Structure 1
Amino acid sequence: MPIQLDIASALALTPGTASLAPGVGANTELHLSSPFAHEPRQHVRTALERAARPDYPDWLRHVESAAACTNPIRLHGTLATVNTHTGEILAHRHTTTLPDGVIYKACGNRRHTVCPACATTYQHDAYHLVRAGLVGGKTIPDSVRTHPAVFATLTAPSFGLVHTRNVRHCTCRDKTRCTCRAAPCHARRDAPTCPHGIPLVCWQRHAAGDEQLGRPLCADCYDHAHHVVWNHHAGELWRRTKQHAERHLNQLARQRGLPKIRLSHGKAAEYQARGAVHFHILLRLDGIDPDNPDAITAPPDGITTDDIIAAVTLAATTIAYTTDSHPTRLDGWPIAWGGQHEIRPITLSASGDALDDQAVAAYLAKYSTKGTEVTGHTSRRLTPDTIDLYANPHGTHPERLIAAAWTLGQTPEWAGLRRWAHMLGFGGHFLTKACRYSITFGSIREERAAYRRAQALNDGHPRPEGHPETTPFHRQANLDTKTDETTLVIGFLTYAGTGWHTTGDQLLANTAAAQARERTRAGHEELAHHTWEQSSSTPLAA
């Protein structure tokens, strides 16, 4: 994991003075005499000083929950231990009694470019969420394995010619690292020019990481306004597309004398290099139980994956609508899918043109941690004070898109474009699902919290060998309803700051977290090897 060493210190603004709250408003460090004063590198010196303290093991245990985070949240306040049966406060303490006087909490950011550790956790959660909807488990019935399912990719239309990488027959196993020889970008013998005098031809064979990819051949001809408006309405376009496909399948079911069905989906959004979003969608066919509409039941046998592919293809090629009027365009903008779309069946073991469940779950989980980085733009939500830093109607392609979204958002009915200008108009979540498709992120996080709480309750019960004893996993509900042993810790906490106190603290915490991950990985490999040895040594039945 890359370690950033440019995090400002969180000590007092002036050496020798105290902050208003623990860990607040700090950017300087005290230069006290220490045996490591000769070390010229500040992050190494502060790390050595921290490690030399007698309370260093306690500090490591204290920051364990956020050790891998790049920018943890620091909280300070009071912690109260409450009896869950009587409501009596059994004990309370202030965070000033804890190491550094604060509690560290992982930032939880889903973007890999912002915090790789938290994004990895989010990606793993997304993987299990998506895969549970395909193979069952985690309260999802195992019968979903037999439901027909497809994986579709729907793209935006063209808003102007852009530089592309044309690979007609890719033979690479990993398409994201394609090394195949590309065809010329835009090869034309007549070499026409646009009204602005720019040649609409490009003979380059762009490499995979070429900065020109996604950039318009003529930025003045490109319809940036239509682009950001399409991004803003992409979610509504998908809703109508799914509705149309589901209606078509139910009409087909009636013709075949079958009961009603529904489509359950999981969807991930990804930005193309040109800044337009496209959707990767998993569609699973379910039946409907009239007595229990929320139950996940098997669909009738008369509907196949070919029927789903035909229904989605029909919807993607026919569904279109026009937006509301805008002062700059009274007749609105047309919203429809582009001509490039791909729909493939999903099986438990990929063969031919089909995809397997693990690959689909990995695809959606990977896309869920991405953002606008591929376009060359990254920023937080923009305000009138910061918009000039990123928007320019005569600047680069991303700057023109942001300027278009900000300008169109001046109209009150279109204010959403300003709110999501930093996302090039797209305001949807990057990973969404139907309510009956699978479990939720919240349930996964509750189970993780319950597991960690169960581990904490078992601390201090050593095995004969001296290793900590770990009891079986308890779900949140079971853990919170224990009788005499269970108490509830309520925190009255406020925000104290963001980031580690020193770059040395970050180095030590991230290193400890990396070592813990390596031990876990090695343990998993050893367990898998041990299981394989046992299975291979078992004689086959005659």
Structure 2
Amino acid sequence: MLNRTARLRQLSEVDQDLIRLVQNPRFARWLEQVNATGGCAHPIHLAGSTTTRDANSGEVLHQYDTHDEPGERLLIRCRNRRATVCTPCSRLHAGDTFHLVRAGLVGGKSVPTDVRDRPRLFVTLTAPSFGPVHRATADRELCRPRRNADRCEHGGISRCPATHDATDPAVGQPLCLDCYDYPTHILWHAHAGRLWKAFTDNLYNHLATRTGHARSELRQAVRISYAKVAEYQRRAAVHVHAVVRLDGAGGPDDPPPPWATADVLATVIPTAAAAVHLRTPYSRALGERELRWGAQLDARPLRAFGDGNDSLADDAVAAYVAKYVTKGAADTSAGLDYRLTHPDDITAARLSHHVRALMRTCWQLGGVPELEPLRLRAWAHTLGYRGHILTKSRVYSTTYRALRADRAKHERTASDATDEPGTITDARWRYVGSGHSPGATLIAAGIAEDQAQNREIARAEIGRSRAVR
């Protein structure tokens, strides 16, 4: 009864807010702002002004001030990549990611088109085992069959005679929480960036050995360019998918020497990964841990993903990477989408026992003096992983900033005086809030859905027109 009353009260508040919005004399302009943000779920509210003057005479050519806007504020996108936080902005981020990765595969966006002829591989590196976990099986294969030792030394199970499908919540969970090496799991995440750096350095060294070149000589002949995405497995361990491309020493504008082939690169990737060994800082609580890549590794030429059509394969890889970067923690075993301020937040969160144990371990290790530089408590919500979901080498392709600048320039109206030569622009802005009221949230969600449907219709029409041709 109380829940129903609360729901009715909530509906009443939403209705009242909708009436307030619609009756506002500036509702039409507010609606224009929400449309301009694509129906962003958590827009940023700014207040301020922009004044454009002639550089010589000082004459005011264009002026904009939020005093004339509804609520004296301007709404802009939150630009959150996570679909669980803001679907419209995550869709835009996915589009930018697709073009960023694709440009490094086929050219465009300031990248020469002959990069499609370079040696290019799609590489997957995984984390090592930190303890036995339940795994998805098929064809009646048992999860962890063992004839003996039904119990581990902690009294927990050491085998699992069940068959799990991919949707089984048990998949990825340790057979015994006490047997699982949680500290090493967290420290591996915290050093994932260094592990990748060591791997790429080893690639140069192993390429030199494989091709009979001195290391310094090889660095002057080839350059390894990459774009990589971090993905959380069901066991809550990060693994890395990367597009790796061989260029000449000058980057995308410089072709590699003839001996630098995809087959040569594929040969040295396993040995370069296996040679990575890092040691964590010594502490009395943990001692010293050795970190390395897992035994599971995959390196395939991009042509293996398609039917021989390189463009189709390239688009598929770029689309896969773009799809993953929009996933939030709620879609994976990545922890939470927000930082923790107290260990009690871990207990309150709706997480598996395994992920909770990882977060608690992360919080505990954050109090170890020798590990303080890792800032593990600040990254407990991501299980100690401190890197970006997507990173790339400097010259792999374009940047997010360049893509956003091109889009902003395209969206700018012809009457905007800020692009005129010989002008000076003075902009003063301040943050005044974020988000929507309950009624505005419903309107923004409807606008976002309409725009998504319009894009799907437009995409279908383009597909039909191409098919007719």
Q: Same fold (TM over 0.5)?
A: yes
* Partner residue, 1:243: 201
> Partner of 2:191: helix, strand, or coil?
helix
Structure 1 window deviating more from structure 2 (344-353 vs 443-452): it is: 344-353
The residue number in structure 2 matching 1:221 is 179
Which of 229, 236, 244 is matched with 1:283 structurally? Answer: 244
- The superposition leaves residues 405-429 of structure 1 with CA deviations (integer Å, 9 ceiling, x where unpaired) of 1222223442222221111111011
Does the C-alpha gap of structure 1 residues 46 and 101 become closer, same or farther in structure 2, counting only changes over 3 Å?
A: same
Q: Indicate the SS of the match to 1:270.
A: strand
TM-score w.r.t. structure 2 length?
A: 0.87
How many pairs were matched up?
A: 451
1:147 is matched with 118
Residues 371 and 379 of structure 1: CA distance in aligned 2, closer, same or farther (over 3 Å)? closer
Determine if contact 1:62/1:99 at 8 Å carries over to the other structure: no
Deviation at residue 200 of structure 1 after TM alignment: 0.8
Kindly provide the amino acid, as one letter, of the partner of residue 167 in structure 2.
G
Match of 1:29 in 2: none
Listed one character per residue, the Cα deviations across residues 30-86 of structure 1 (whole Å, up to 9, x for unaligned) are xxxxxxx9996543553355345554322211222224211112222x213221524
**1:162-181 mapped onto 2 (5 Å cutoff):** 162-167=133-138, 181=139
How far the C-alpha of 1:137 sits from its partner, in A, is 0.4
Aligned partner of 1:335 among 280, 287, 291: 291
Task: Judging by fraction of residues, say which structure has more helix.
Answer: 2
Indicate the SS of the match to 1:427.
coil
- The structural deviation recorded for 1:191 is 4.3
| Aligned equivalents of 1:426, 1:40: Cα separation in 2 | 40
How far the C-alpha of 1:128 sits from its partner, in A, is 0.5
Which residue of 426, 438, 451 corresponds with 1:516? 451
Distance 1:309-1:39 versus aligned 2 partners, 3 A rule: closer
AA aligned opposite 1:85 = A
Instruction: Give the structure 2 partner of residue 526 of structure 1.
Output: 461
Q: Distance in 2 between matches of 1:219 and 1:349?
A: 38
Corresponding residue SS for 1:419: coil
Residue equivalent to 2:168: 210
Query: Which of 294, 303, 314 is the matching residue for 1:357?
Result: 314
- C-alpha spacing 1:209/1:44, structure 2 compared with 1 (3 Å): farther
Of 263, 272, 287, the residue aligned with 1:306 is 263
Residue from 225, 230, 234 that aligns with 1:264 = 225
Judge conservation of contact 2:140–2:163 (CA < 8 Å) in 1. Answer: yes
Report the residue type matching 1:512 in the other structure.
Answer: I
Any stretches of 5+ residues in structure 2 without a counterpart? 1-7
User: Equivalent residues in 2 for 1:410-489 (5 A)?
Assistant: 410-415=367-372, 416=374, 417-453=376-412, 456-457=413-414, 482-483=420-421, 488=425
The equivalent residue for 1:498 is 434
- Report the RMSD for the aligned CA atoms in angstroms: 3.0
Amino acid at match of 2:248: G
Question: How far apart in 2 are the matches of 1:182 and 1:117?
Answer: 41
Aligned equivalent of 1:22: none
Q: 1:205 to 1:39 in 2, by over 3 A?
A: closer
CA apart distance, 1:491: 4.2
CA contact (8 A) 1:250 1:260 kept: no
Alignment of 1:6-45 (within 5 A): 41-44=12-15
Structure 1 residue 401: deviation in Å? 1.2
**How big is each residue's C-alpha offset from its partner over 1:367-404, in whole Å with a ceiling of 9 and x where there is no partner?**
22234432273142223xx2222169xx9222221121
Q: Distance in 2 between matches of 1:224 and 1:391?
A: 17
**C-alpha distance in 2, partners of 1:406/1:39?**
37
Cα distance in 1 for partners of 2:105, 2:33 equals 38
CA distance in 1, matches of 2:356, 2:438: 33
Residues 248 and 255 in structure 2, CA contact (< 8 A), matched pair in contact too: yes
Question: What is the letter of the counterpart of residue 112 of structure 2?
Answer: P
> What residue is the counterpart of 2:141 in the other structure?
183
Give the match for residue 201 of structure 1.
159
Distance between the aligned counterparts of 1:40 and 1:318, measured in 2?
A: 61
Residue from 89, 100, 123 that aligns with 1:118:
89
Higher radius of gyration, 1 or 2: 1
Mapped partners of 2:455, 2:309: distance in 1: 36
Cα separation, 1, equivalents of 2:241 and 2:44? 33
C-alpha change, 1:246 and 1:421, in structure 2 (3 Å) is same
Change (3 A) 1:45 1:115: same
Q: Which amino acid aligns with 1:243?
A: D
> Separation in 2 of the partners of 1:516 and 1:148?
39
Structure 1 stretch displaced more, 151-160 or 42-51: 42-51
Task: Quote the Cα distance in structure 2 between the aligned partners of 1:512 and 1:457.
Answer: 25
Q: TM-score, normalised by structure 1?
A: 0.76
